Amino acid sequence: MNMKKLTVLLGGITLALASTSMVSANTAESYPNKPVRIVVPYTPGGFNDTLARTASEYLTKEWKQSVVVENKPGGNTLIGNTMVAQSKPDGYTLLITPLPFSALPGLYRDKMPYDALKDFEPVIWAGSTQNILTVRADSRFKSVKDLIDYAKENPGKVNYGSTGSGSSNHLSMELFLELTGTKMTHIPYKGSAPAVTALLAGDIDVLFDNLPNVYPNITAGKLNALASTGNKRALLLPKIPTVAEAGVPGYEVSVWFGMQAPAGTPADIIKKVNAGMVKMLNEKDVIEKFNKQGVEVVASTPGEFKTLVNTEVKKWTGVIDRAGIKIE
């Protein structure tokens, strides 16, 4: 190749790279220039919805562009998740992602309509809460030790509730059973409200549930908290030990909430959404609002959230395999 042709070729490459850089910059600068939707794969209510609606209100003001919430429940969150995975990766469709997202690959295996690690771009780990091991106020179980001892002597006789197979409270109990070598009978319900009602009525003996869902009945004296699932004591229940402190070393479950986008969404747009969310999550009134619901703000980088999702998928796939949990 002669020098003249080489010069022309290099000039073309330089121009192409400059054009790509300019397009990327313009993408970030102009985003968003049309309405953005935040998909929540649950019915309205609960913290997933609270996070989405708080973000919608804040980002609409911050970006001076409409940010709307779209609830897409059904299929154990697969309907909403799949819709986002198949959406155009341009930053205009975002997904609220909680802990159960990481359990779905283990639950559905080859029936998964998307790849949880390849079809999404993590944006932010917004915050975390804990599940609380809860019993009725008049329960025979006054401590975690009481529960473990009875369950070992009476395999399968303790009934525990959940908000469905693969939910964070179901997984919390399955990890508990694995680490304590006990066996209990699982009774799933369609949501937290019926599960808590069943516990209060005596239809089940014990329940792991999100702190915001059981806290009112704990403060009212109708339920007793035996332990919390995190690596430190729950914000609203500082006197209650963690499960690990109560005699189950190695136990830890963080009930996390985050946001993702379709894979292929430009990095500069991911960065801009993350920056907007971090700014919102550092607002004093938002921190107070979330803390009152038992949720501690995290406000991570996209990379930190990606690491969390990868770790959690591996962890819960293992728990599900060892427990033999299947969803047909």
Q: Give pLDDT, residue 1.
A: 52
Asked whether the beta carbons of 256 and 305 are under 8 A apart, the reply is no
Q: Give pLDDT, residue 196.
A: 95
Residue 267: how many CB atoms within 10 A of its CB? Answer: 12
Residue 188: strand pairing partners: 162
pLDDT tens column, 184-207: 999 999 888 899 999 999 999 999
Which helix (H) or strand (E) covers residue 176, if one does? helix 168-180
Q: What are phi and psi of 234, to 5 degrees?
A: -65, 145
For residue 96, name the pLDDT band (cuts at 50, 70, 90).
very high
pLDDT tens column, 132-188: 999 999 999 999 999 999 999 999 999 999 988 888 999 999 999 999 999 999 999
Q: Give pLDDT, residue 208.
A: 97
For residue 43, name the pLDDT band (cuts at 50, 70, 90).
confident
Q: Give pLDDT, residue 230.
A: 94
Residue 106 pLDDT > 70: yes
* CA 174 – CA 185 distance, rounded (Å): 11
Residue 28 pLDDT > 90: no
Residue 186: strand pairing partners: 160
Asked whether the beta carbons of 136 and 202 are under 8 A apart, the reply is yes
**Alpha-carbon distances of 66 from 33, 57, 61, rounded to whole Å:** 9, 9, 8
Asked whether the beta carbons of 95 and 126 are under 8 A apart, the reply is no
Instruction: Give the angle 322-323-326 at the CA atoms, nearest 5°.
Output: 110
Q: Give pLDDT, residue 46.
A: 83
Quick one: what percent of the chain has pLDDT higher than 90?
80
Number of helices (H), then strands (E), belonging to the chain: the values are: 11, 11
Domains recognised in the chain with CATH numbers: 34-129+254-323 (3.40.190.150), 131-228 (3.40.190.10)
For residue 6, name the pLDDT band (cuts at 50, 70, 90).
very low
Residue 86 pLDDT > 90: yes
* CA 35 – CA 92 distance, rounded (Å): 7
In the predicted model, what is the mean pLDDT of residues 56-61? 98
**Alpha-carbon distances of 196 from 25, 137, 230, 234, rounded to whole Å:** 50, 13, 21, 19
Quick one: what percent of the chain has pLDDT higher than 70?
92
Of 122, 110, 47, residue with least CA distance to 84: 122
pLDDT tens column, 272-325: 999 999 999 999 999 999 999 889 999 999 999 999 999 999 999 999 999 888
Helix (H, G, I), strand (E, B) or coil at 224: strand
Q: Give pLDDT, residue 212.
A: 86
Residue indicated by tokens 């690596």:
231
Residue 9 pLDDT > 70: no
pTM, entire model: 0.85
As to burial, measured by CB atoms within 10 angstroms (0-12 exposed, 13-18 middle, 19+ buried), residue 59 is buried
* CA 286 – CA 58 distance, rounded (Å): 10
Which helix (H) or strand (E) covers residue 85, if one does? helix 78-85
Q: Give pLDDT, residue 244.
A: 98
Asked whether the beta carbons of 77 and 294 are under 8 A apart, the reply is no
For residue 23, name the pLDDT band (cuts at 50, 70, 90).
very low
| Side-chain-facing half-sphere of 112: CA atoms under 13 Å | 18
* Tokens linked to 97: 């992602």
Does the bond joining 122 to the residue before it have cis omega, within 30 degrees of 0? Answer: no
Helix (H, G, I), strand (E, B) or coil at 97: strand
